[in-house]
Amino acid sequence: MNTRMLKQNMLASFTGLAFFLICCGTVYAAEPNDPFYTKQTYLQRIHMSEAWDISRGNTGMIVAIVDTGVQLSHPNLKGNLVKGVNLLDPSLPPEDDNGHGTNVAGIIGALGNNDRGTTGILWNAKMMPIKALKADGSGDEQMLGEAIRYAVDHGARIVVLSLGLNKYSAYLSDIVKYAEEKDVLLVAATGNEGNRVKYPAAYPTVLAVGGVGVDDRVHSKSNTGLEIDVVAPWNVFTTAMNDSYEEKDGTSMAAPQVAAAAALAWGLRPDLKAYQIRQWIRQTADDLGTKGWEEATGYGLLRVDRLLKEPYVDDMYEPNQRKDQAKTISVSKKITASLEGGGDVDWYALDAPYDGTINLTFDMDPKQTVNVQHTDASGVLTTKSAQNGQTIPFKVTKGRNYVQLQLKDRSYEGAVPYQLTTFFEIYRDPFEDNDKQYKAYVLPSRTQTIKGTFHQYHDVDWFEFPVEQSGSLKLTLSVDTARMDPVLLVQRKGEKSVIIDNGDDGETETYEIPKVFPGSYYFRVSNVKEYENPIVGEYTLRIEYNAKLIDPNEPNDRSYQATFMSLNTPYNGLLDRVGDVDWFQFRVDEESYIKISVKDIPSPVSIYMTLYDGTLKSMANSMNAAYEDRQMLSGRFGPGTYYVKLTANRAFDNQLYQLQVDAKPLTGGYTDIREHWAAQSILTLTGKRIIDGYDDYTFQPDRAITRAEATAVLSRAFNLSKQRAVSYSDLPSSHWAYDYIARAAQANIIDGYPDRTFAPDQPVTRMEMTAMLARSMNKTGKLRGQLPFTDIDENYWGAGLLKQMKAEGLIGGYSDGTFRPDQQATRAEFVRLLAEALS
């Protein structure tokens, strides 16, 4: 089957287990009398028996099935079918010629409790069959888009899409938006390749459903990733062609379970919108791993009983008032929540899979503005504001990021519901701009591995590889997502090119040239033509070049022959004979943090690196493991000349190693405060041992300061020595800041929260920073006097402290007259304020 086309997993494996469900000693009467019901064990796992006590069907709305059609005469289906369409041949009925659509229909709405065959989740339903796939299960995006639009335009409220493709489509994206605008819920399978979520499940407003095995663990073939919402059982027993029944599996069988559950819920709450039904299903899912959303299982396993019993809430993420309560959400999905007035704060955690950009778009009251504070995985703090319909981007590094949301109008007392759409864009690779052959990025002439991205529309990457000596060349192009179908072009300058595209979506391409000659070779890495959209994923190009190389630094076998190195500049070399030694020297003119790295070490060679001072006294040494291709020495170096000696456990001449000495001048022991506006304050308090930095010789002045860090600094600054025992649920006595917090608590500088937590890693706001310092100085604030800042009123809890601290010249605001009390305080701001107070 062509994997560039829409397709489904048609494999079947199932073990039937009869069951009964007892609660409080009573057997539920809602269990149907259908003879094959005992084989439908997946219904027990999503708690249908309890759910049927509340609702057993919905004939008030149409559920459209976009698939291979349905066996229209199936005795257990025909009573729940309404008129559909065959888009492949409109003159014919939407009759199933594959079986997949009939499987899906039985899960949703096989007639229940009719003493025949199986039962659907909906005993009574209105299912609209739309045939958009061929007999082999294939189709295209154009037909899929037409099918969705037909369903929307002909009264369907829910559309089931147990199909998928790897490529993003602007056309299909517009169709999905059209369905959302018409208040139609789309439910789609994530796919069955053990890879990334397929489209249309991957679009922000489509409810994406993965599959779990009988152990409630994600099935190894179930696609996972950034866009998954919930999971449902992978294995089912359902209706089949020729009036029969069969075992089936896949996310294609999981998605209709969620669609049917949505129909039951919508029947109970017809006043809700599609986005609210989507959120309600997330809200009531069972966590299967880490609490909250995760990219393996989304929000968890479908629980139909909870869906029908638990009321819909406007904000399922509460409580998330603090950073330590932040709820994890996807970086590429649409969610619904609410800010309950100007004092409410919503914290979210987002895990960026790569470096890149997270875009946030808000749908909310046009009269309101939301302030967004973003804390990058590296600790950098950025603040922006957004209004209805506005998209704001934040640069992110791979790892956990946080966003804090709060209304700009702090005095507003009403609730402000909002929809937040997150969209992730991958980083621009370091080889850009190389989209044309004449812009080809020139690579070093050696064996190497490079990573790149397709970060923009029609992105292709050209590389030039200069061959200096005859040898052999092998290229291996791999990708980390099936959303890429990599294509490799190879061309020797002036000769005809060769295109390598033997694999399919997500598969590796290889090409070997047994004999290469001196000259330039060009490589072009691209996606197949129809996959020209930006893609969240990386490709890896492995270049293996075998040639007799020459060490450009020889002779350097003695210390007096050492090659002089410029700082922050790479040097290549070889250890190509037994007993070969390579000496290098470098000079440091001022105290600096130095990193000496050796990389591109060929496997299984181990290089032994020794560092000497100017008198050739040994200072340190390092050696890489046999299958590691790099090693490093680092530390604080004073001015002077230093030597590096390299030896190897075996000679090699097929690949050049790379040696580099990186230097960052130190200011007061830090690499990142020189010329910073708070540098003098940082140096002053560092000299007094009130503050310190991190192990990598950074201070990170623009990083948000936490409650634990701020408390520790104040405890040292004011020489607090008395302490009282404190007991917070999130602060063990082994915590590094426990003693500082105990002393600050004794001095009434800081205390915990009503829920008996301290939240040591919670960022401190500018107002909290001011209050902590004021209490340290025994200042209680004053009631009289003019308000010092435009964004503070008399009712604000810290108004008195701000008046006193401003009057005494201890604090200042921004040029626009604001103080921004709820904005996170940075380490630099805290240190500057404290330094001025102490002086």
DSSP code string of 15-70: -------EETTEE-TT----GGGGG-THHHHTTHHHHHTT--EEEEEEEEEEES-B
Distance CA 21, CA 40 (A): 13
Kindly provide the residue ranges of all beta strands, DSSP E only, lying in 570-651, ordered along the sequence.
570-575, 582-588, 592-599, 607-612, 618-623, 630-637, 640-648
The CA distance from 486 to 505, in Å, is 8
Residue from 640, 637, 659, 631 nearest 565 by CA: 659
Residue 390 is encoded by which pair of tokens? Answer: 């506005």
What residues are paired with 337 via a beta bridge?
418
| CB hemisphere CA count around 157 (13 angstroms) | 22
Q: Are strands 381-387 and 448-452 parallel, antiparallel or unpaired?
A: unpaired
How many angstroms separate the CA atoms of 358 and 350, rounded? Answer: 9
Is the CB of residue 728 less than 8 Å from the CB of residue 761? Answer: no
Q: Count Cβ neighbours within 10 Å for each residue of 476-499 and write b for 16 or more, e otherwise.
A: bbbbbbbbbbbbbbbbbeeeeeee
Cα 783 to the center of its chain, rounded Å: 48
Residues 6+ positions from 795 with CB-CB distance below 8 Å:
none
Q: With beta carbons less than 8 A apart as the criterion, state whether 252 and 56 touch.
A: no
Give the residue from 225, 218, 274, 278 showing the smallest Cα distance to 251: 218
How far is Cα 45 from Cα 211, in angstroms, rounded to an integer?
A: 12
Element (H, E) at 529: none
Q: How many CB atoms lie within 10 A of CB 532?
A: 17
What six digits make up the tokens of 304? 């139909």
- C-alpha distances out from residue 192 to 164, 224, 818, Å: 9, 9, 54
Q: How many whole angstroms separate alpha carbon 48 and alpha carbon 31?
A: 9
In whole angstroms, what separates CA 405 from the centre of its chain? Answer: 19
For residue 659, report the phi and psi dihedrals to the nearest 5 degrees: -110, 135
Please, which residues have CB within 8 angstroms of residue 94's CB and are 6 or more apart in sequence? 69, 70, 72, 84, 85, 86, 129, 130, 131
Q: How far apart are CA 65 and CA 84, in angstroms?
A: 9
Q: Are strands 607-612 and 124-131 parallel, antiparallel or unpaired?
A: unpaired
Euclidean distance between CA atoms 144 and 7, whole angstroms:
12
Residues pairing with 542 in the sheet: 449, 476
C-alpha distance from residue 704 to each of 234, 343, 498, 712, 830 (Å): 44, 20, 53, 15, 9
Q: What does the alpha-carbon distance between residue 642 and residue 619 come to, in Å, rounded to a whole number?
A: 10
Q: How far apart are the first and last CA of the chain?
A: 76
Give the whole-angstrom CA distance, residue 287 versus residue 440: 48
592 — phi, psi (to 5°)?
A: -145, 160
Candidates 273, 288, 286, 138; CA nearest to 219 is 288
Catalytic positions, written as ranges: 67, 100, 252
Element (H, E) at 114: none
